[in-house]
Chains A and B, each alone.
Chain A
């Protein structure tokens, strides 16, 4: 069973985001970049399936300029077998990303595609579901547990009121939530080994898809800041303020 893991290069989650002074976008110049944390969980899950003997091959794919090869090498160091970079310098909308991934699915015929539920930059939470619709595959989004059962996969999902388990016919899409697993650290020997694993580069333009932008980013601003309030000394004072000043309790 082949597992395809699409991953995204994003700002490192520890880095504080700055908005450009001209409000055109966030400023990513000279910031530390990393594999999107949810994508890292997706790679880990795929590698565990391989270690358990369920998956035979794990393929990582990323769409972007040459710099995303760094994150593909990270995926290879974590245990993916080979990688594909789809080269483009454009920041593509989720739908266009999903269309490119659909072509990769057509070619590779994976039984399972595992993606992060969302990227921590655009926070869209769309690509996995869109790929599901385009390929006709069922989906188990926001997964906290994935169990292969013959030609089906059982996915436990984190939903608003608790957990829900679905049975999906494979091939299927899974998107990861935080509690699915805890990704390993790549060991130095594996980082060295990853450098020799195959990484194919394909041009997005060669896929014959209309990649025209579907959205236009008009402006990016910093969020409204909240003013710090006052420190009260006693619970009595707190209750009094909430009743009479803020009027939020009676």
Chain B
């Protein structure tokens, strides 16, 4: 069997989640080809060639793919699809955006957000915001799959795959990129960080998120937030962890002033170790936390920072 994995990247670096998606492809079993579609993305190609378990890297380096517009990328992947039984992408913004178009163009349905592989046609995925886990068999001849990367362990990067440059330049011509407004941060990506510290409504305002920064710096952590904190306008939405935000599973997750609504738990309950800091001893977050401390966060955070 042959598997095409779409590499998630920003034209400069390969996203760490792609290494986990390749692990999912290995679990399916077969010859793995990685597709890098972008523009001026040679450094991504260099990263991609080192991914273990990948035999070939296909490169479509063209202005049409600079912003990975769904219309253009889906045409490209569909053109390449004939050689593959499985087409796999990470369930991040780009993959979630274009993959269903690929499925529809190939006249197959998509299996979204898989967290485990049972066999080459049967997959496990959360439904109802993770409140139930479904095992689903695809009856289509070609499988189009997106992977929730937190379900898989990253493959190593000491491989040496063959690089093949494509000359495709599929441009649907009906959409164009206007602008990006990206959050600039020195900290690791929420999705890739080994430690995440998140603040909730208990933080009271956006300024108080500074209390998390010193701890994040000491732990090399990413900073997240609950939906309540985002909806209250404390921080931007791209920091949101939860069913409607990012799904994370770091080694250590520290929830500060977060009550633990189901919505939030759906985004972090697969973390290895969970710490909760909350002044309400009845907060549901304590039911999933490995270590809880009932304390006022305005006392606890400075103390924690000083003792790390």
The interface of chain A, by Cβ under 8 A from chain B, is: 11, 16-17, 19, 26, 93-96, 98, 120-134, 136-139, 141-142, 144, 154, 157-169, 172, 177-179, 213-223, 226, 228-236, 238-239, 241-242, 246, 248-249
Contact = CB atoms under 8 A, between A and B. Distances in A.
A217 B132 CA distance: 13
Given A166-B177, A229-B274, A229-B291, 18 more contacts: A96-B109, A130-B100, A130-B101, A133-B105, A138-B174, A160-B191, A162-B180, A165-B180, A168-B175, A177-B244, A213-B139, A215-B136, A216-B136, A218-B135, A228-B288, A229-B292, A232-B291, A236-B307
A141 B177 contact: no
Contact of B132 (A168, A218, A220): A220
A214 B238 contact: no
Interface of B: 10, 67, 69-71, 74, 92-93, 96-105, 107-113, 122, 125-140, 172, 174-183, 189, 191, 195, 219, 236-238, 244, 246, 251-252, 262, 269, 272-275, 281, 286-295, 300, 303-304, 307-308
Contact of B111 (A160, A213, A215, A223): A215
Contact of B174 (A26, A137, A159): A137
Contacts of A136: 172, 174
Nearest to B265: A226
B293 A231 contact: yes
Given A162-B181, A162-B183, A242-B275, A130 B252 contact: no
B303 A125 contact: no
B244 A217 contact: no
A198 B139 CA distance: 38
B294 A231 contact: yes
Nearest to A135: B104
3 pairs of A and B residues whose beta carbons are closest in the complex: A129-B100, A229-B290, A133-B104
Contacts of B96: 125, 141-142
Given A161-B238, A220-B133, A139 B103 contact: no
Given A142-B93, A163-B180, A169-B174, A123 B112 contact: yes
Contacts of B127: 26, 121-123, 220
Contacts of A127: 100
A232 to B, nearest CB: 5
A132 B272 CA distance: 39
B132 A94 contact: no
B112 A178 contact: no
Contacts of A130: 100-101, 103-104, 110
A95 B174 contact: no
A164 B291 contact: no
A144 B246 CA distance: 16
